[in-house]
Amino acid sequence: MSARSLFYKLFAGNHTQQIPVCSRILTRQKFHTSAASGKPATSPSTNINGLSRYRKLSVGVIGAGRIATSVHLRNILQHLRLDLKWIIENDVARQRFARDELMLGDEFPFFTSNDRFKLLDDESLDAVFVLTPVETHTEYACDALQRGKPVFVEKPPGVNYTDVKHGYETAEKFQTPLLTGFMRRFDPAVQATVKAVQQGDIGNIHVISLVTRDSPRPSYEFLSSLAKTGCNIFSDLTPHDIDLMVWLTGAERPESIYLTGHAHDPVMKECGEADTVTALLKYRTGVVASINNVSESKYGYDIRFEVFGSEGMAQMDNPRLSSAKLELSSGFRSPRICTSFPDRFSMAFQNELEHFINCVDGTESPLITKEECLMTTEIIDRGTQSFQEGGVVRFQ
């Protein structure tokens, strides 16, 4: 067999990700541990309220769009402790797609947003997932929180700083958990890298470099449906990098930000939206951070970051679809990186769900805090201002 034939035999075609299988095993094990620390979470059989940690939780989902059908609804339906009671979705076509894609059956109940109050008033309902467009996140989350229902809300938790603050203040007022879906925090590779930085392995942080290059490019329909900020890629894709930067810096307030970008895609150019952006942030402690985002990467879903410090460097690189490698006289070949976010962060999404269940049980507190979400939101707001004005914007 020729070297070329051997290569294609090893690497060609679609590779099945094995991460989900491992994740299901870890998920069952993590009933007994804390998602944030790995330490035992009170009793293996009861929560702080004395309720069984193995009882079924009755949950509802608001929104059946892209992230819901590709990730969250699948994980909810597969989880042994969750009983999905209903889905709210105003779009009939999305209802039909979700019913068919997830094999829910004709009898499964779908409702519209007008029905949400009677659904949320159901005393048997344990928690709610808000997976709708960003402009409705705060309203729907608060509707549930005011009725004592723990809420998982996809990122970002609101359109602006005021909305995010209102959402978290509502959670505080009604003493009800609110978890924002920054799923990268629950990825084992991300956690290990951040832990090394936070415990001082690389000394004082000097430089943070974050890269996100999306794959495949979201549909133009989806991109055009985003809130019109003048830089949608920064308000929709970049928040994951910003949240990671906020986590690494302990929610330190930046000194300044400069955001620039360009539209290489003619359709995006016609829409007046950038498909490539770079942000540069400076902190008063001397930390310099850069974020590079593009909306389409032909070679795969490229997510990595590096932290350089006074004593060394911490780095998280891309996993690949297989660990097989080929060394030849002509050079080195390896399988491609993951195709999209459901593949790359399969385990993170499942760990995130497990953490939310623990928050509902009362054995853990949300890993992503109000202060961190507010700082992330402020950076997004200032970055958008920088892009619109074409200059450096300083934090007050």
Q: What is the DSSP string of 324-363?
A: --EEETTEEE---B-SSHHHHTHHHHHHHHHHHHHHHHTS
Whether the per-residue pLDDT at 396 is higher than 90: the answer is: no
| Lowest-confidence pick of 20-34, 108-122, 295-309 | 20-34
Predicted confidence at residue 41, as pLDDT, reads 45
- Taking only the tens place, the pLDDT of each residue in 157-196 is 999 999 999 999 999 999 999 999 999 999 999 999 999 9
Structure tokens, 28 = 């069952």
Q: For residues 162-183, b (16+ Cβ closer than 10 Å) or e, as one string?
A: ebbbbbbebbeeeebbbbbbbb
Query: Pick from 388, 381, 372: which is nearest to 168 by CA?
Result: 372
Structure tokens, 125 = 């309902």
226 confidence band (pLDDT: 50, 70, 90): low
Whole-model pTM? 0.85
Domains of the chain: 27-181+358-363 (3.40.50.720), 188-344+375-394 (3.30.360.10)
